[in-house]
Structure formats: structure tokens, C-alpha cells
Structure 1
């Protein structure tokens, strides 16, 4: 199991809006897709667990 903490994610979300935050998450997902084995699985907990005010 690997748990990632995307440093600065909450700041991006707050300062630039949810669309920018979603773009960051898409980029992270793409990097994971490119580097993980085909049998590995990724997931994300509910948004409330990702960024709290």
C-alpha cells in the first residue's frame, strides 16, 4: 500500500479553485498510471479527507 500526500494541494485548491485542484489530481494520476505496474490499483478517498479548511 502506498499513501501519497500531494504537498500544497489544499493551497492550490483554495487559491486557484476546484478546477485547478482537479487538474493537479489528474496530473498526479497520469504520473502514477505511467509508473505503476498494470496490476496495481489506484484510488482516492472522499474529497473531505483530501482538503479541509
Structure 2
């Protein structure tokens, strides 16, 4: 089983989801959507704001 890591970066109130393993994209996308619901921007695997 692959492990996935989620990092929450707080810079001036800016939040971002970054995943270490693209194979577990679903878990990180879900986490990003949860953060986005709190008013933080959602990011993709490359770190670009969606």
C-alpha cells in the first residue's frame, strides 16, 4: 500500500494541498476540497491553484 502525505502550508492565510505520491491523488484531492470549503484555495498535483 502506498502512503500519501498531506502538507498544509499557511502563508498569509494562504492554504495549499501538496501530495508526495500522485498515485494517491484521490485522498489528497478530497483533503484539498475540505480545505477549500474552509475558504482556502485548492491546488493540484503540480501546485497550481485550481
If the TM-score is normalised by the length of the shorter chain, which range does it land in? 0.3 to 0.5
Largest Rg, 1 or 2: 1
- Specify which structure has the higher proportion of helix: 1
TM-score normalised over the length of structure 1: 0.40
TM-score normalised over the length of structure 2: 0.41
